[in-house]
Amino acid sequence: MLTTSIDSIERPNPLILLGAHDNVAVAREGIAMGRMLHVGDVEFVSTQDVPAGHKIALQSMAPGDAVRKYGQVIGVATQPIAMGAHVHTDNMGMSAEDRIHGIGKSYQAVVPVALPASFDGFVRRNGRVGTRNYIGVISSVNCSATVCRYIADAFKGDALKDFPQVDGVVAITHGSGCGMGGSGEGLELLRRTLRGYADHANFAGVLVIGLGCEVNQIAPLVDTLAAREPGLFATLTIQDEGGTRETVAEGVAVVRRMLQLANQSLRSTVPVSHLTVGLQCGGSDGYSGISANPALGAAVDLLVRNGGTAILSETPEIYGAEHLLTARAASPAIADKLMQRVHWWESYTALHGGDMNNNPSPGNKAGGITTILEKSLGAVAKGGGTGLMAVYEYAEPVQDHGLVFMDTPGYDPVSATGQVAGGANLICFTTGRGSTYGCKPTPSLKLATNSTLFMRMTMDMDFNAGEIVEGRMSVAEAGAKLFALMLATASGAQTHSEEHGMGDNEFLPWQLGAVM
């Protein structure tokens, strides 16, 4: 686990030093050129303006010298850097340094708490537990997407006033399902993702709708689904029903019958072992690895100690920090599987003429992140410090407890879709630039890295980790507070994105293979 010394830094100091041997610090606030600064007993003057969240040089560096943050190499100087200078894209680049993988050297068995925490959830027939109680209308192919949306739209507004135990009717639609090979990785990936949603514990009932002639036929899709309560699963085919109008009418009738049954579901108290949290970060900034991500990591450690599960993902965004995860692997096989996925991504990006350092977005860089190494070192902090217990392919059902990894792209909607398909019934999403991400049927908590963002987007942010940056709360305190919020949300407290009705358009499966 990455540790920081932020809790030991006096609040007036405008610089945050994250590792004892770092040669850059992070600006807690905007720093003007010519300001007298100090780190420990060393005093110096800023030679440039340094925006809040960005890096400032603590010593002079020559081209090729390693730049260190978090006690790790995040890049190299590409030109001479003076002490007190702003360190960013114009004078720093990627490092080719090989990371040392001490497989399992940091693994520690989890010590469970004596009295595990609990939450109030919906216990399903198969023993799985939902944090929400939705009806899902799922398209097998893009050709049935509009019909699915028409059916879901029939239950907007006051249509559910007689069903207070039901959170809503949501259409799960996508842009694929045909024009693809009838076998192979692309089709299997789509089916695995759709199966994960159709089986999800946050859906009380599911209606699957196809066109009829698509490659992704309904029968193979649903044959392996777990049994639901009678009356809470159905399929329709537009061509067999007689067309769009007829299918919509029948679909509305089917959902209305399901609502009667779903409304009978009541929450009951269950152990935290039934909580699976997907970890996401998007719109990251220079504070992400200092405040929100470590706070989420502290909450994850509590979740794991209480028997729960956390899914770390976004493989391109752990690139350069994978050695921190292999060191925590519970077995060499787990570490090897993680590295296989990392190497797959190296080959995949090279095949398409890219490289892994393409990942930091313009917004990330504006917020102070320079290289993928720097971004990744901050991103892995979301996973806390417990052992890595398993590595999963995209959208595979997550069976293990504790911290696990799922191979996904870094693009948040695609990544979170895979996590939800794997069984995540809560999402925690850290952001420094701002995100409004919703994720029906799974609630999504937004965690702000800084107080400026929290105040600017107060109706979108659910948690303010900026108090860590300001020295008003420790990482441990923030983690405990966040863990309590996670339990309350799992028990039914609405997130801001739910209050705004967001999350109907974020289902985005990872597409691989040729479109034909």
pLDDT of residue 351: 84
The three-state secondary structure class of 315 is helix
pLDDT of residue 425: 98
Q: Are 385 and 297 in contact (CB under 8 A)?
A: yes
pTM of model > 0.75: yes
Q: Is 70 left (phi over 0), alpha (psi -120 to 50) or beta?
A: left
Q: Is the pLDDT of residue 10 over 60?
A: no
pLDDT of residue 358: 63
Across the range 179-183, mean pLDDT stands at 87
Q: Is the pLDDT of residue 3 over 60?
A: no
Across the range 81-89, mean pLDDT stands at 97
Q: Are 238 and 209 in contact (CB under 8 A)?
A: yes
347-384 confidence digits (pLDDT tens)? 998 888 877 766 678 888 888 999 888 999 999 999 99
Share of the chain above pLDDT 90, in %: 83
Q: Which domains does the chain have, with CATH numbers?
A: 6-93 (2.30.130.110), 134-262 (3.40.1400), 270-499 (3.40.50)
Q: Residue 339's pLDDT band (boundaries 50, 70, 90)?
A: very high
Q: Rounded to the nearest 5°, which phi and psi values hold at 261?
A: -75, -45
Across the range 431-448, mean pLDDT stands at 96
- Residue 212 or 226, more confident: 212
Of the candidates 195, 202, 216, 207, the one whose C-alpha atom is nearest the C-alpha of residue 248 is 207
pLDDT of residue 12: 64
Triad 327, 331, 336: Cα angle to 5°? 75
Of the candidates 258, 203, 265, the one whose C-alpha atom is nearest the C-alpha of residue 230 is 258
Across the range 386-411, mean pLDDT stands at 97
139-162 confidence digits (pLDDT tens)? 999 999 999 999 999 999 999 999
pLDDT of residue 8: 47
Pick from 22-31, 56-65, 87-96, 475-484: least confident: 87-96
Of the candidates 28, 41, 24, the one whose C-alpha atom is nearest the C-alpha of residue 83 is 24
